[in-house]
Amino acid sequence: MHQIKIIGGVPLKGEIAISGAKNAALPLMTAALLTDEPLILTNMPHLADITSMEALLDQHGVHLSSDLNLKTLTLTARTIHNTTAPYDIVRKMRASILVLGPLVARCGQAQVSLPGGCAIGVRPIDIHLSGLRELGAEIDLLDGYIHAKAPKGLIGATITMPIISVTATENLMMAACLAKGETRLINAAREPEIVDLANCLITMGADIVGAGTDTITIQGKNRLHGGTHRVIPDRIETGTYAMAAAITRGSIHLTNTSLDLIPTASAHLQRAGITLTPTEQGFHVTAPEKDIQGVDVMTEPYPGFATDLQAQMMALMTICRGASLVTETIWENRFMHVPELCRMGANITVHGSSALVRGIDTLRGAPVMATDLRASVCLVLAGLAAEGETLINRVYHLDRGYERVEDKLRGCGARIERIAE
Ligand code: EPU
């Protein structure tokens, strides 16, 4: 087990290149199951979750070949010899559920382990299952597995999703590409990752209109073909490093990204006094000379403030002038970073789904425990700003979603290292 040691107090200065988006890359990889031809993905991030997805697809029979230098992954699902997604892989990564739609659509059956709960919430998958049922699949839950069958193929339908779900929209959009006739997904998620997946599917021959709006219409095809697709930049990594620059009172240039990917987070940062200046390759982030202002934040589906940036924004707000009310509306248990931030001197009180953050002058380094991916990086940000040494335990969470995080931060002057326990 590794720990991350940070000696805080250094303003970040320099340039950070943003990697391809984890949450775009994972569904894109499963889209390879829809065709017997190669799908080539470029700008792929190198992350633990990507390795888990590779292992899952490999055991389904997908041939994978990657070039880490070129950040390219080629996936070829010529034949699928196993339609079961086993518990051992699914329990490590809930995004494994994304094989369900493509497998049923292509093979007429799939057995996927139920993902179970996770640190940030219960996370049901009822919308994935009811949507597939509306497409004609028979679904049973047996021995901890979802057993889905559609021996005669899926049939297009109009599906109104009761709440906005990112991966359910992705699963159903992929399944509908090989269904007979038209499918309409109503109350669909509008995240940039949905648009990226739709663009890739269109390159593969799919007929999809409306991705990025709340209604997506798909005309099913008999088959899809291969293609090449570039993964969009990671908007959560983008927002995270923008907040890292702000919390350390630094100034950094983020490249291979765009301010357009974080419309609401950038507006909040600007209200807090941070200067964001677009450039050809991305944007500059510069912290204010005076105090960072407290701003209220409420997480919402895109284009609202991303839940995956809530913990990082809260770290920034701990040293703001005044107070900030942070409200989490997506996940019921996503304040696990609060007690850890409080160990570093933060003044935060939680009332139900809201946390009142009263700004203090400085955080102080302390040993802390990472509880999930975004909570881990929030502690990294707090450590970068804190006086003295912060030691973060359970950093494996970080490796699921942040590529070379220590290298990227060290390149901007941070005193951060990974040590063996
Ligand atoms: N929900 C249901 N039933 C469902 C599906 C979702 O009740 O069948 C609920 C969830 O419990 C939650 C809400 O709907 O309260 C939204 O969940 P959603 O399904 O949109 O989340 P997800 O698709 O499982 C993706 C990201 C998450 C991100 C959320 C919200 C991927 C692989 N994961 O999860 O990313 O927090 O959307 O934006 O795309 C992360 O990267 O750290 C992460 C957790």
pLDDT tens-place string over residues 333-343: 899 999 999 99
Look at residue 116 in the predicted model and tell me its pLDDT. Answer: 66
Residue 76 sits at φ, ψ, to 5 deg, of -130, 115
Say if residues 246 and 287 touch (Cβ distance below 8 Å). yes
Q: State the Cα–Cα distance between residues 173 and 171, nearest whole angstrom.
A: 6
Evaluate: CB of 397 within 6 angstroms of ligand 1.
no
DSSP bridge partners of 298: 327
Task: Out of 166, 298, 353, give the residue to mutate to test ligand 1, the one with the largest number of ligand atoms within 8 Å of its CB.
Answer: 166
Instruction: Tell the residue nearest (CA) to atom 43 of ligand 1.
Output: 308
Instruction: Tell the residue nearest (CA) to atom 33 of ligand 1.
Output: 23
Look at residue 118 in the predicted model and tell me its pLDDT. Answer: 67
Say if residues 341 and 376 touch (Cβ distance below 8 Å). no
User: Of 11, 17, 23, nearest to 373 (Cα)?
Assistant: 23
Evaluate: CB of 307 within 6 angstroms of ligand 1.
yes
Per-residue pLDDT of the chain (421 residues; tens, 9 = 90+): 889 999 999 999 999 999 999 999 999 999 999 999 999 999 999 999 999 999 999 999 999 999 988 899 999 999 999 999 999 999 989 999 999 999 999 999 999 999 866 677 777 899 999 999 999 999 999 999 999 999 999 999 999 999 999 999 999 999 999 999 999 999 999 999 999 999 999 999 999 999 999 999 999 999 999 999 999 999 999 999 999 999 999 999 999 999 999 999 999 999 999 999 999 999 999 999 889 999 999 999 999 999 999 999 999 999 999 999 999 999 988 999 999 999 999 999 999 999 999 999 999 999 999 889 999 999 999 999 999 999 999 888 899 999 999 999 999 999 999 998 7
Residue-averaged pLDDT of the chain: 96
User: Of 339, 337, 346, nearest to 364 (Cα)?
Assistant: 346
Look at residue 391 in the predicted model and tell me its pLDDT. Answer: 96
For residue 406, CA distances in Å to 4, 33, 392, 395, 420 come to 9, 34, 13, 11, 14
Q: Which residue has the tokens 């699949």?
A: 137
Using the atom order of ligand 1, give the atom closest to the CA of residue 27.
32
Spacing, Cα 122 to ligand 1 middle (Å): 10
Q: State the Cα angle at 194 between 208 and 53, rounded to 5°.
A: 115
Q: Residue 273, Cβ neighbours under 10 Å: how many?
A: 18
Pull the structure tokens for residue 18: 């943003």
Look at residue 289 in the predicted model and tell me its pLDDT. Answer: 85
Residue type, 156: G
For residue 36, CA distances in Å to 32, 39, 258, 324 come to 8, 9, 34, 51
Residue type, 129: L
Look at residue 232 in the predicted model and tell me its pLDDT. Answer: 98
Look at residue 208 in the predicted model and tell me its pLDDT. Answer: 98
Look at residue 123 in the predicted model and tell me its pLDDT. Answer: 77
Spacing, Cα 219 to ligand 1 middle (Å): 26
Look at residue 39 in the predicted model and tell me its pLDDT. Answer: 98
Whether the pTM exceeds 0.85: the reply is yes
Evaluate: CB of 197 within 6 angstroms of ligand 1.
no
Pull the structure tokens for residue 223: 């088959």
- Biggest CA–CA distance in the chain, Å, is 66
Say if residues 174 and 2 touch (Cβ distance below 8 Å). no
Evaluate: CB of 19 within 6 angstroms of ligand 1.
no
Evaluate: CB of 23 within 6 angstroms of ligand 1.
yes
